Amino acid sequence: MKNNIARSASVLVVSVLVLMAAGLTASVAEAKDLSNRLGVGYKNQSSVDLPSLAIQYWPGAELGFSASLGLDTQTNNSKFGAMAKIYRVVFQEDNMNFYLGAGAGVLSIETAGKNESGFELLGYAGVEFFLPGLDSVGFSFETGTGITSISSGTRFRTFGDSPLRAGAIFYF
């Protein structure tokens, strides 16, 4: 229980520091146009804790796509997840893009030697922000609803990213 309290406190402190840094630097920033930009990074937005490698592409200023792949081969506790997502920018703010999106993916979880597999569907709203001077690095936070259906049952959930689960993408 002490670990959970300490973890929650550290998440809160990091969240406040990130928001303060973004607030202090936003006045010199401009809206981000990611047209024809390809990015590589990580995301951790599956229903299981599975950090994933991600590729993100924006063919235009308002429409983006991503694909992510996560793998953990731990003995008797392995995990696999792959997800494709689509983004639609609905509002551009200084150095931020607010978007809506949807995602679909496959999931496989092994627990105590028993394998369960199925799919995930997500609907979400999110923000990707850029710190001035780091115009090629985007940090994204998302919140929304999801459904996960695996062999053992179906799960409906709401989710929200903390700074420790947020995504980070480097754009070329």
E strands present in 2-133:
37-43, 52-58, 63-72, 79-93, 96-111, 114-129
When pLDDT is cut at 50, 70 and 90, the band that residue 16 belongs to is very low
Q: Give this prediction's pTM.
A: 0.75
Find, among 78, 66, 6, 62, the residue nearest to 42 by Cα.
66
When pLDDT is cut at 50, 70 and 90, the band that residue 166 belongs to is confident
| Higher pLDDT among residues 106 and 93, named by residue | 106
Token couple for 165 = 């689960």
15: phi then psi, degrees, rounded to nearest 5: -60, -45
Find, among 84, 133, 132, 135, the residue nearest to 107 by Cα.
84
Residue 20 scores a pLDDT above 90: no
Share of the chain above pLDDT 90, in %: 50
The span from the CA of 84 to the CA of 67, in Å, is: 4
The whole-number average pLDDT for the span 43-71 is 91
Largest CA-CA distance found in the chain, in angstroms, rounded: 54
Range from 8-12, 48-52, 95-99, 123-127 carrying the lowest mean pLDDT = 8-12
Q: What is the CATH number of domain 2-171?
A: 2.40.160.20
Residue 144 scores a pLDDT above 60: yes
